Amino acid sequence: PVRREAAFFGWAHNDQLPEGRELLPLPGYYELATTQPTAVVDWRYKYRRGLDEMLESAYTTYGAPFYQPNRKKIDNNMAQWWGNPQLNFGLATASLILLLLVLIFGLTPLYLRTQSANEAIQVLAAERMAAAQTLGVAQCPDPNVQIILPTAGGAQWVGSQLDIFGVADHPATARYDIYAQPVGQTNTIAITTRRWRSSLGTLTTWDTAGLPPQTYNLILQPTRSDGLPITESACIVQLRLVAPPIAPTVAPTAQPATP
């Protein structure tokens, strides 16, 4: 039975067998015993066999006219080539060695050069930050919380897109709040909140469109998981937003009247 269906078998003439017949499944003939009280076809059992013998007889009917198997021809040479365990092991070993060579001679020097460049940037940024703190335009006591760009004490055009580049890698921080505050005022301008750490990279972009031209404190504030700010590690840099120059209006030249 397949899916609670009763499949019926019958005897078919076959001169190649000693019995002169074989048991074959009858195509198209089946009935659901659960949907009707009696069989529609008047089936008469002429011979009974065990289940094992019936299954064996059913599996030997692949050569019947109503069953057309679709078998793909396999190239013996190709099968032997792919089935060779020594060859497969050699290919896997060669691939692994090639991958290791690429990692050692390709990616490792690139990683070292990137690390060297990052260290050089951090050294220069530390020197410039020390000078800015001396001038009073920056206050960044924690080297793990730094705003490197825009430059402290510099000026930027109002309406420009400022990439805030720096370090946000405090070990006890759950998030970083980045906001701006006009100097001498208590109101703040939220820029973004980030929840991932960055050893050195672009933290966010500040859109200054619509802001009044004045001096701002740009603040990178680390915050613990309980919501309390780590004020002693906050980085504050000062910069000015200036209005872009207005292009002069050229008056049209008067043309002499044509007589």
Question: pLDDT tens digits for 148-164?
Answer: 888 888 899 999 999 99
| Residues ≥6 apart with Cβ < 8 Å to 139 | 133, 234, 235, 236, 237
154 and 220 inside one domain: yes
DSSP, res 212: P
In a domain, 238, yes or no: yes
86 and 55 inside one domain: no
226 and 170 inside one domain: yes
Pairing of strands 138-139, 235-242: antiparallel
Q: Report helix, strand or coil for 63.
A: coil
In a domain, 164, yes or no: yes
pLDDT score of 163: 92
pLDDT score of 157: 92
203 and 155 inside one domain: yes
Residue 193 and residue 211: Cα distance in Å, rounded?
Answer: 20
pLDDT score of 242: 93
In a domain, 258, yes or no: no
Q: How many CA atoms lie within 13 A of 180 on its CB side?
A: 20
pLDDT score of 97: 86
- Structure confidence by residue, pLDDT tens digits, 47-82: 555 555 666 665 554 444 444 444 444 455 555 555
Across the chain, mean pLDDT equals 75
Please give the biggest Cα pair distance in the chain: 127
Q: Between vectors from CA 117 to CA 113 and to CA 118, what angle results, nearest 5°?
A: 120
pLDDT class of 140 with cuts at 50, 70, 90: confident
pLDDT score of 239: 92
119: pLDDT strictly greater than 90: no
107: pLDDT strictly greater than 80: no
- Structure confidence by residue, pLDDT tens digits, 11-61: 778 888 888 888 777 665 556 666 667 766 665 555 555 555 666 665 554
Q: What percent of the chain has pLDDT over 90?
A: 20
pLDDT score of 135: 78
Please choose, from the candidates 231, 238, 236, 239, the residue with its C-alpha nearest in 3D space to the C-alpha of residue 170: 231
- What is the number of structural domains in the chain? 3
Q: How many CA atoms lie within 13 A of 238 on its CB side?
A: 14
The range of the structural domain enclosing residue 86 comes to 79-125
